Structure 1
């Protein structure tokens, strides 16, 4: 009999693993709908969809291991990171999805709201919040939209040796800023950016990527805290924010 493993669980969604099958249960059926549409469209390896009966989406496991986890050094080779970069480039060169992405005005408003919460809560020194808010300004500019994954965490890219075998969790896929995907994948692993760009190409704006490192960490922290995660774990979001001040 297969054991049931809880991969992630919070008030919005849960993912269970039973053998080689992942069952994703989401309170918002739109998330799974986007995920299914995106995986059927993108020119990169994705998990096979086994069935979809809202609110449950069943997908098959992909071969290999994740590039790494937040808070620990990535065990993947430079060539594996370059392969990941090449896959992300294929995604960004694909035709745009037909559904809308995040508006710049909404993003700026969210940043203001979350920085105000961080300052009022005192979970981080005010100097850290304000300094990163200034850095985040670099990301708040008009961009030419591309097909982005939208949540390209290091745990969502799987490799076997130097081959990308699958990219998972597509519920946030949408038109958006290419630099956001690159920043999300290297969040907490900034030392691997050059390896990633060896496959992606160097036509990037590193200042904007740094802006997204700060912006994502600022805007994600309250959600993480309220859903049982710890952004203050070693190498995670709070460390990313503190490191920006140390580098100043």
Structure 2
């Protein structure tokens, strides 16, 4: 069994799993259309992405990126302010590129889900009703007209790799498509509010900070039940919701 000691389970749930073996990531996804879109998005993206080593459905093998993740949700980031600004600049480069032809995340899709998730949070004593109500009100600002851009769709801090102050690559393009630019910026800074100014400075464009804060609340409200039901600890999202004033 010695050959298994180098196998790391990066993430796993009933939809897909990612394993790391040395310098190779193996993504296993039963939805081949999603993998098709991921590979196509990486080929179109004007920012560094992992190199595709091979593909044998349902497995996609990717080369590891140099450097380390910008941070982790729920932990202080080891990256410099300049690295966070570089992540903002990379996001701007992506958003300025011609978007792919397929749709990505849409704020409209959240509307029929939001009330049900809020009821679940209160009914199961996950959060006090006043915290849920406050965040529900904050989240409304995200549900506004927006211009579709080339969006990553899941631009978490663990998906952005840096070496020093430079971005070396962006991982996990399975949610990429035509989406909301501010959703990407909110996902990047979720739980790392102290770096929002750095990201916006690197992004180099007028950004509605209220909409980003709205996405923090909206994304967290929608994520908690899914995380619980898939065996993950949602405490970082719960901390975000409790911190809204």
Match of 1:131 among 130, 134, 137: 134
Matches within 5 A, 1:44-59: 44-59=47-62
1:119 Cα deviation (Å)? 2.1
Unaligned runs of 5+ residues in structure 1 are none
Give the equivalent residue in structure 1 for 2:39: 36
1:152 Cα deviation (Å)? 0.5
1:103 Cα deviation (Å)? 3.9
1:27 Cα deviation (Å)? 2.3
Give the equivalent residue in structure 2 for 1:145: 148
Structure 1 residues 46-55 or 2-11, which shifts more? 2-11
**So what's the TM-score if we normalise by structure 1?**
0.95
1:108 Cα deviation (Å)? 1.0
Give the equivalent residue in structure 2 for 1:122: 125
Residues 1:19 and 2:47 are matched in the alignment: no
1:216 Cα deviation (Å)? 0.4
Residues 1:86 and 2:85 are matched in the alignment: no
Matches within 5 A, 1:199-210: 199-210=202-213
1:63 Cα deviation (Å)? 0.0
CA RMSD of aligned residues (A): 1.2
Distance 2:180 2:106 in 1: 11
**How many residues end up aligned between the 2 structures?**
242
Check conservation: 2:157, 2:189, Cα contact below 8 A: yes
Distance 1:174 1:12 in 2: 19
Check conservation: 2:26, 2:60, Cα contact below 8 A: yes
Matches within 5 A, 1:221-240: 221-232=224-235, 236-240=236-240
Distance 2:84 2:106 in 1: 30
Match of 1:187 among 176, 187, 190: 190
> Kindly tell me: are residues 138 and 75 of structure 1, through their superposed partners in 2, closer, same or farther at Cα, counting changes over 3 Å?
same
Structure 1 residues 117-126 or 163-172, which shifts more? 117-126
Distance 1:103 1:187 in 2: 18
Residues 1:242 and 2:242 are matched in the alignment: yes
Q: Deviations over 1:116-162 (max 9, x none)?
A: 22122221111111110000000001101111100000100000001
Q: Deviations over 1:164-185 (max 9, x none)?
A: 0010000000111111000000
1:212 Cα deviation (Å)? 0.2
1:109 Cα deviation (Å)? 1.1
